[in-house]
Structure 1
Amino acid sequence: MSINLVLLAEAFVVVSDKHSSITHLTPLEVKAIYLKKRRYWKDLKLIALNLPPKNPLRQSFEKHILEMDNAQIQRYWMTAHYQGRRPPYRVQSIESMLLYLKKVEGSIGYIPASLLSKELKVLYRGQF
């Protein structure tokens, strides 16, 4: 089974590298980070990571955390572009996201809770 497949009822976690100074995030803080309304945590530049648009985990994340569907998100980023904001950095797979999270300070991503490792720090736990 590929780790790109996610059951919709599965728990997910928003994570960063294990040395992150962030202790936890609320759903509203996660939303602000992913909509690039919050780009720094103290002096740390945040790098929000996103999976490809058709990934089921991303679709569930956007629906439940961002409270937007794909069309709303596209409109949001068209408007935000003129304010100098760009969408989160897109990785090609959960595997890529895991590698990036473990190596790049300030990176934040969402993964199935079943893939959590000691190399990552949980900032938020949720369930779809």
Structure 2
Amino acid sequence: MSRADAARSPRLLLTVATVVATVATAGSLFFSLGLGLTPCRLCWYQRILMYPLVVVLGVAAVEERPAVARTVLPLSVFGLGLAAYHSWLQVTQTTCSVGVVSCATVQYRLFGLLTIPNLSLLAFSLVTGGVAACWWQARE
């Protein structure tokens, strides 16, 4: 298999998406369990959408099943929208009266730049892009 063929492999794209979902899941658990940060309501919704992707994408990568896009894309696109909205809230609002912790509060910045919702937005974007590319290539 040539390098170009390997890059187009559904298994590779699904594996990368699985790794991204796994890192995002582990990161969210580290923020809450390791650093003691309390997730806001929007963070909980994003977790609900991200956590199952680890298993679903992992199984699809092992079975090399690009049709998993029909299962993954609704979750990842909705998560992408929630993460974008959450990131927007943190930039434009000072408070959010939903839940115990305000969704507009910045609790942590990675490298002094990326907030937790920004990291979620990045993860959902990578998962969505990888799965969409995998699905698109399988259709050719």
Same fold (TM over 0.5): no
Q: Structure 1 or 2: larger helix share?
A: 2
Larger radius of gyration: 2
Structure number having the greater strand percentage: 1
Place the TM-score, normalised by the shorter chain, in its bin: under 0.3
Alignment TM-score, normalising by the size of structure 1 = 0.27
* TM-score scaled by length of structure 2: 0.25
Q: Larger RCO: Structure 1 or Structure 2 (Cα < 8 Å, ≥ 6 residues apart)? A: 1
